C-alpha cells in the first residue's frame, strides 16, 4: 500500500475512533476506576476516569463516575456538578442517588431530600435508595422520618444489614428498646463483624436489664474495633455496674488514651477509683471532668460527696449545691412562691417554710437543725414526707409540721428553704455537728405500751434487725444484704425483732420459717410506730437505711453495717460518727464481703448481751 493510501486509512480510523469509541476499553477503564475506589485509591480512580473521558467526554456514565470520584475525595460541590450533568443526559435513579449524597455532604439537605424523593419515585423498590434517603434525613435531624425509610428498606430487602442497624439505632435512641433489639438482632445476624451494631445492641440489652448479654456484645465490639474509645468506655461502665472494678478501670484507661478529654469517661473512671477507695485520685479525676464538661454539675456533686466523706465539710457542703443542676437526680423540693432563703439576712419574726427535699433518712438526720432556726427567732413551718409526719408532727422548734401531701393548703410564709441546705447555712464543720444524743419527739406512751404488750416479758436482750433498704437506691446492691446472712446472729440468748417493713420475695420464705425472730411488719404502718418499737429495744443492728437514722436519732445504741465505700455521712476509717453519738460502725474491708462483718457483729453482740445482763 502506498504511503498516501496508508495516511487516508489512518485518518479514517481516527475519525471512526472519535465518533465510535471502543466500548470494551471504556468498560475496562470504568471497572478499574471502581476497583480503585473500593480500595480507597481515589487518585488512581480519577486517572482511569480521565482516560475514559478522552474516549467519550459526553458519556452519562463517565460523568456519573467522575461525580463518584469527587465525592470520594470530599469535593462535594464538584460532585454535584458532575452528577447534575449526568442526570441531564440520563436521569437514572443511581445518578440521582449520587447527586443526593453529594448535596447532603455539601449541607444542602432540602435539595438532597427532593432528589432522593425523585429517585424513589423512579424506583420505589430499591432498598438502597430508601437507606440513603434515611441517612440524609438523619443529617437533617428528622429522625422519625429516617426511621420510616430504614424500616422500608429492610422490608424491601431483609438482607440489608445497614438498614436494620440504623433502624435499631434510632429506635434505641427513642427509648423503644424492645423493637430496637429486633432490628439489631437482624443486623448482627447478617453481619456479625459490625462492631457498631454490636455496640448499640449492648447498650440496648443493658437498657433492658440484660447486662451480662450486653457485656458479651460490648467485649466482641471491642475485639472488632479495639481503638473505639466510646465502646471501650461503655464496656468499662458495664463492668463497673457488675462490680468488676479493676477490669472496668483498665477499659476506662484504654478509652482515655484514645480520647483523653472524654468527660463522661473521666467521670466513670473517677467513680471506679472512688469505689476502690482511691479517694485522692477520684477527686482529681472529678476536678478534671468538671473542667472539661460543659454540663459539669454531676462531677462537682460527686467531688463534694467525696469531700464530705473525707471530713472536708467546708468545700463539700458548698459543692453539694450542684445537686440542683444534676440531670436526673431526684429532687423533692416543690416549686414555691417567694424568696428562697440561703442563710443571708435576719429571719427573726419571719415565717420560714422548711421543706424536706431528699430521702427519708436525710430528713431524719437534718431535722436536728430546726431548733437552731427557731433559736434565730424564726417561726418555722416544717414540711416532711407523709411517712415521717406522724413521727415529726411535734418536732422541737417547729411551730407547725405538715405532710408533703398538704400541697396547696400551705400556710402563709415569708421565706422558704430546703432542709438539705441547713448544714451549709449553719457552716457545719466536722467538729461542730449539732449532735444531741436524742433530738426526735419521743414516741407516744400509748404506742410504746402497745409494743411492750406485743413483745411480752423482757427476759432477754431485745435486738432489732434491718437487712435491706430501698431497692431503687442506686447503691442498694452494696448496702442491702440477704436475710440469710443474718441468721448466723440468731441464738436463744437474745430476742430478735425484725424492723423490716418491706420484706423482699427472696427473703420472705426464709423469714417465715424462723421461729427465733419476731416479725411485726403488719403493724409498722409509719415511722412513729417504728420509733415506738425501737424505744422498747436494747440495740438495733441495721444496714444503711432510714431505720438506721431513726434509731440513732432516738439515741438508741445502733450498729450499722457499711459497704467498703459508704455514704458520705459515715466518713472513713472510724467506728464512731459525729452525727450520731450512739452509733457504732461495722465496715467491710477491701474484700468487700459482709461475712467477716457479720462475724465481728456476732462476737460483739455476745459481749453486749453479757454486759447488759
Mean of all residue pLDDT scores within the chain: 91
Q: What is the percent of the chain with per-residue pLDDT over 90, rounded to a whole number?
A: 73
Helix, strand, or coil (residue 545): coil
Question: What pLDDT band is residue 478 in, cutting at 50, 70 and 90?
Answer: confident
Q: Render the burial of 317-351: b for 16+ CB within 10 Å, e for the rest.
A: bebbbbbeebeeeeebbeeeeeeebeeeeebeebb
**Which residues are paired to 496 by β-bridges?**
463, 517
**Which residues are paired to 383 by β-bridges?**
355, 402
Alpha-carbon span 261 to 292, nearest angstrom: 7
pLDDT per residue over 360-407, tens digit each?
999 999 999 999 999 999 999 999 999 999 999 999 999 999 999 876
Distances from the Cα of 222 to the Cα of 190, 230, 237, 254, angstroms: 19, 10, 14, 11
Q: Is the confidence at residue 69, as pLDDT, over 70? A: yes
**By the 8 A CB rule, do 551 and 474 touch?**
no
**By the 8 A CB rule, do 140 and 149 touch?**
no
pLDDT per residue over 76-112, tens digit each?
899 888 888 888 989 999 999 989 989 999 999 999 9
Q: Is the confidence at residue 612, as pLDDT, over 50? A: yes
H or E, element range at 334: none
**By the 8 A CB rule, do 539 and 564 touch?**
no
CATH 1.25.40.10 assigned to domain 11-124? The reply is yes
**Helix segments in 242-322, DSSP class H:** 245-258, 263-275, 279-292, 297-309, 313-319
pLDDT per residue over 499-547, tens digit each?
999 899 988 988 888 888 999 999 999 999 999 999 999 999 999 999 9
Match domain 445-612 to its CATH number in 3.30.70.920, 3.40.50.2000, 1.10.1040.10, 3.40.630.10: 3.40.50.2000
**Of 459, 457, 545, the residue nearest 498 (C-alpha):** 545
Give me 316's grid cell: 463539700
Question: What pLDDT band is residue 68 in, cutting at 50, 70 and 90?
Answer: confident
> Is the pTM higher than 0.85?
no
pLDDT at residue 223 in the model: 98
Give me 451's grid cell: 409494743
**Which residues are paired to 403 by β-bridges?**
384
pLDDT per residue over 81-91, tens digit each?
888 888 898 99
Pairing, β 583-587 against β 398-403: unpaired
pLDDT at residue 13 in the model: 38
Give me 283's grid cell: 477527686
Report the 10 Å Cβ neighbour count for 493.
12
Q: What angle do CA 214, 218, 222 make, to 5 degrees?
A: 175
pLDDT per residue over 183-241, tens digit each?
999 999 999 999 999 999 999 999 999 999 999 999 999 999 999 999 999 999 999 99
Residue showing cell 419571719: 350
pLDDT per residue over 23-41, tens digit each?
778 788 888 878 887 888 8
Q: Is the confidence at residue 474, as pLDDT, over 80? A: no
Q: Is the confidence at residue 3, as pLDDT, over 80? A: no
Mean pLDDT, residues 294-311: 95
Report the 10 Å Cβ neighbour count for 15.
10
pLDDT at residue 21 in the model: 53
Amino acid at each position: 500500500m502506498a504511503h498516501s493510501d496508508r495516511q487516508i486509512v489512518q485518518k479514517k480510523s481516527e475519525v471512526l475512533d472519535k465518533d465510535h469509541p471502543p466500548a470494551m476499553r471504556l468498560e475496562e477503564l470504568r471497572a478499574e476506576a471502581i476497583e480503585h475506589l473500593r480500595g480507597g485509591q481515589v487518585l488512581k480512580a480519577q486517572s482511569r476516569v480521565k482516560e475514559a473521558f478522552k474516549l467519550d467526554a459526553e458519556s452519562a456514565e463517565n460523568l456519573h463516575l467522575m461525580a463518584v470520584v469527587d465525592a470520594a475525595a470530599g469535593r462535594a460541590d464538584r460532585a454535584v456538578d458532575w452528577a447534575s450533568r449526568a442526570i441531564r443526559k440520563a436521569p437514572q435513579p443511581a445518578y440521582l442517588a449520587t447527586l443526593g449524597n453529594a448535596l447532603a455532604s455539601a449541607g444542602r439537605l432540602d435539595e438532597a431530600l427532593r432528589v432522593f424523593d425523585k429517585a424513589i419515585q423512579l424506583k420505589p423498590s430499591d432498598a438502597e435508595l430508601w437507606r440513603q434517603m434515611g441517612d440524609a434525613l438523619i443529617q437533617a435531624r428528622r429522625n422519625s422520618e429516617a426511621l420510616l425509610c430504614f424500616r422500608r428498606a429492610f422490608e424491601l430487602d431483609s438482607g440489608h444489614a445497614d438498614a436494620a442497624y440504623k433502624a435499631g439505632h434510632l429506635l434505641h435512641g427513642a427509648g423503644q428498646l424492645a423493637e430496637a433489639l429486633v432490628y439489631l438482632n437482624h443486623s448482627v445476624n447478617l453481619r456479625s463483624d459490625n462492631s457498631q451494631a454490636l455496640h448499640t445492641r449492648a447498650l440496648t440489652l443493658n437498657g433492658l436489664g440484660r447486662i451480662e448479654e450486653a457485656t458479651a456484645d460490648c467485649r466482641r465490639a471491642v475485639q472488632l474495633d479495639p481503638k473505639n474509645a466510646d465502646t471501650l468506655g461503655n464496656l468499662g461502665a458495664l463492668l463497673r455496674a457488675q462490680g468488676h472494678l479493676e477490669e472496668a478501670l483498665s477499659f476506662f484507661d484504654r478509652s482515655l488514651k484514645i480520647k483523653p478529654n472524654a468527660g463522661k469517661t473521666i467521670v466513670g473512671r473517677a467513680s471506679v477509683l472512688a469505689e476502690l477507695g482511691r479517694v485522692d485520685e477520684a477527686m482529681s479525676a472529678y476536678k478534671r471532668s468538671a473542667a472539661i464538661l460543659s454540663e459539669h454539675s454531676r462531677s462537682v456533686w460527686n467531688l463534694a460527696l467525696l469531700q464530705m466523706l473525707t471530713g472536708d465539710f467546708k468545700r463539700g457542703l458548698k459543692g453539694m449545691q450542684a445537686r440542683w443542676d444534676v440531670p436526673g437526680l431526684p429532687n423533692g423540693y416543690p416549686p414555691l412562691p417567694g424568696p428562697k432563703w440561703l442563710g443571708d439576712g435576719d429571719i427573726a419574726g419571719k415565717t420560714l417554710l422548711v421543706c424536706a427535699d431528699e430521702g427519708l433518712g436525710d430528713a431524719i438526720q437534718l431535722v436536728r437543725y430546726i431548733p437552731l432556726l427557731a433559736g434565730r427567732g424564726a417561726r418555722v413551718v416544717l414540711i416532711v414526707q407523709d411517712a415521717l409526719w406522724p413521727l415529726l408532727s411535734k418536732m422541737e422548734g417547729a411551730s407547725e409540721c405538715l405532710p408533703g401531701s398538704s400541697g396547696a393548703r400551705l400556710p402563709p410564709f415569708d421565706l422558704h428553704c430546703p432542709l438539705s441546705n441547713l448544714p451549709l447555712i449553719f457552716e457545719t464543720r466536722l467538729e461542730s455537728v449539732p449532735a444531741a444524743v436524742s433530738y426526735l419527739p419521743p414516741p407516744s406512751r400509748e404506742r410504746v405500751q402497745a409494743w411492750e404488750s406485743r413483745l411480752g416479758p423482757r427476759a432477754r436482750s431485745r435486738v432489732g434487725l434491718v437487712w435491706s433498704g430501698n431497692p431503687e437506691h442506686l447503691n442498694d446492691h452494696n448496702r442491702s444484704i440477704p436475710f440469710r446472712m443474718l441468721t448466723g446472729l440468731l441464738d436463744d440468748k437474745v430476742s430478735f425483732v425484725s424492723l423490716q417493713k418491706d420484706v423482699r420475695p427472696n427473703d420472705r420464705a426464709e423469714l417465715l420459717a424462723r421461729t427465733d425472730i419476731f416479725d411485726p411488719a403488719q403493724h409498722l404502718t409509719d415511722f412513729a410506730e417504728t420509733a415506738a418499737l425501737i424505744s422498747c429495744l436494747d440495740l438495733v443492728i441495721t444496714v444503711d437505711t432510714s431505720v438506721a437514722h431513726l434509731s440513732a436519732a432516738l439515741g438508741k445504741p445502733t450498729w450499722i453495717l457499711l459497704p467498703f465505700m459508704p455514704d458520705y455521712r459515715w466518713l472513713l476509717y472510724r467506728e464512731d460518727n459525729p452525727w450520731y453519738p450512739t452509733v457504732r460502725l461495722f465496715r467491710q474491708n477491701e474484700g468487700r464481703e459482709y461475712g467477716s462483718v457479720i462475724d465481728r457483729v456476732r462476737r460483739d453482740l455476745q459481749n453486749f448481751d453479757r454486759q447488759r445482763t
